[in-house]
Structure 1
Amino acid sequence: MSRGNNPPSTAELLAAHLAGLDRHVLGVTAGLDEEHAASSVVPSGWTMPWMLHHLAVDNLLLWTAAVIAGDPAAIARCAPDAENAAPATIAEARDSYAAESAAAQAVLTDLDLGAAPAWWPENLFGTWRLETNEQVITHLLVEVATHVGHLDLARELLDGSHWDVFRGQLVPPGG
């Protein structure tokens, strides 16, 4: 992360925090059987594959590839009427998330935090707007971290396992 004796830049720190959250997302959803993955433990009805899809498309893809990078293909995938059905299996959802995570990290490489985002989804947020890439990445980190908490709780309710942040691993029930 750092270059020699120089401390890491703010962009490097933000990218490292996102990478840590991505490891957490993939870790807390690892080894989940399809029956549990397809089950919902919340009144809204979301499942683990749905939440991974939401994180991959509505968060990583939207905020990095579409908003920051202005990639036309990403913008099209983020349109409200785009065909973005949630993956059918937890394995597909994890693969999709991992792919979007890698793509997001690529966008963050050498990012000018003070620059304005390349594109803004006017039709999604009304007058609310983030003015710099730093604001966009900060917003993305909050979104992903919030949903990591949801995934943690859902996993514990589904099969009793939980993610141990300090050990960086999934801990079985009673462990």
Structure 2
Amino acid sequence: MIWYALLVLAVGAERLAELRVARRNARWSVAHGAVESGPGHYPAMVALHTGLLAGCLAESWAAGRPFDPALGWTMTAVVVAAQALRWWCIRTLGPRWNTRVLVVPGLPLVSAGPYRLLSHPNYVAVVAEGLALPLVRGAWVTALLFGVLNAALLTVRIRCEGRALLREGAAGPSARPAGADR
């Protein structure tokens, strides 16, 4: 159980690192004319992702399920792959990446890196991590609850991003803000 708590804490530390990058990038975006869209759903997103980490630890401790090596190690590999994909997105978008919906007017959509393959690769990472991290220790209730709530939140988020792109004149066939993919 200790190694799992360390894994969850490491994911939490990674999230804090993301927030530092996002704050720095938000300053850059605002300096280049971006205005935040849809700030109302952001607190729910923060609460959901914090709840995921707490739920992983609470359910795995309370349920006392034994570690299933086949499931646990497979899901650990998915968590690691999700982190790699997330940081590939962050690196590809550079200062345009953010946890908030900030669209810099006049900048084209990014179509390099993982964005040449998927419209929202960071969301793929979020979904994969949100399902896999709890399942490393058999916390299937947390995985299910996060999956359902995250699907609802992503529906709101992706619509918000699409509206922001349209407003800034950057929307195309695969409308997504270049930098608000989280």
Shorter-chain TM-score above 0.5: no
Higher helix share: 2
Q: Return the structure number with greater relative CO, CA threshold 8 A, min gap 6.
A: 2
User: What TM-score do the two structures reach when normalised by structure 1?
Assistant: 0.38
User: What TM-score do the two structures reach when normalised by structure 2?
Assistant: 0.37
